[in-house]
Amino acid sequence: MVKVADLKVGQVIKDEFDQIDRKLLKSYAKWSGDTNPIHTNDIVAEKAGLKGIIAHGLFSYGFLTKLFEDFLEHGKYGKLIETDVTMRGMVRCGDLLVTEGKITKIEGKRVYLDVTQTTFTYVDIKDKDGNIVKQFEAGERGYISDKDIERGLVKTKEVDEGTLTYRERIATPGTAIIELND
């Protein structure tokens, strides 16, 4: 159950999605009507200088509204009133998309949040000798730029198979307002 009295400024609502692939983007293109081929055809995307298809900006945005609809149990405890976001970074197939809402203010039944969608783009996994033991799409297609490295967005962490290199980047910052019933 979600009630205003139970919510606190600073509280975070979060969701993760790691199933972004070409099939899903084609399905989104079909049912959204946004059939720009840079989202579904690698050859067209490469010609546009994108190195491979990119997700529709509004596709990843859909996970933001879903975050709040799930949180409010689809209208049982309230409704989503507003979202306001900036499209800042491209989302790619294979990305882990983390969607978060952090409560900044509560006024009556209205709850205001800062929202972010962050992508984790996996590049490769190397063994202790520096040999690549697993390469991801971003590594194969060269999605990571020098600018990403300069900005400190490219990081490493130890995983079972070795050292994972990945990029962590905010794709969609913004705000949201929800209104609770009680």
Q: Which chain residues interact with another protein by CB under 8 A?
A: 17, 19, 24, 27-28, 30-34, 48, 57-59, 61-63, 65-66, 68-69, 74-75, 79-87, 174
To another protein, the closest distance from the beta carbon of 69 in angstroms equals 6
Contact 13, 101 (CB under 8 A): yes
Identify the bridge partners of residue 177 per DSSP, sorted by sequence position.
82, 112
81's tokens:
């009133």
Closer to another protein at the Cβ: 54 or 164?
A: 54
Closer to another protein at the Cβ: 23 or 155?
A: 23
To another protein, the closest distance from the beta carbon of 101 in angstroms equals 14
Closer to another protein at the Cβ: 63 or 143?
A: 63
To another protein, the closest distance from the beta carbon of 44 in angstroms equals 10
Closer to another protein at the Cβ: 11 or 19?
A: 19
Q: State the DSSP string of 13-50.
A: EEEEE----HHHHHHHHHHH----GGGT-HHHHHHTT-
Hey, what amino acid is at 147?
K
* Residues whose CB is less than 8 angstroms from the CB of residue 173 and which lie 6 or more positions away in sequence, other chains included: 85, 86, 88, 114, 115, 116, 117
Please identify which residue in the block is written with the tokens 């899903």: 24
To another protein, the closest distance from the beta carbon of 27 in angstroms equals 5
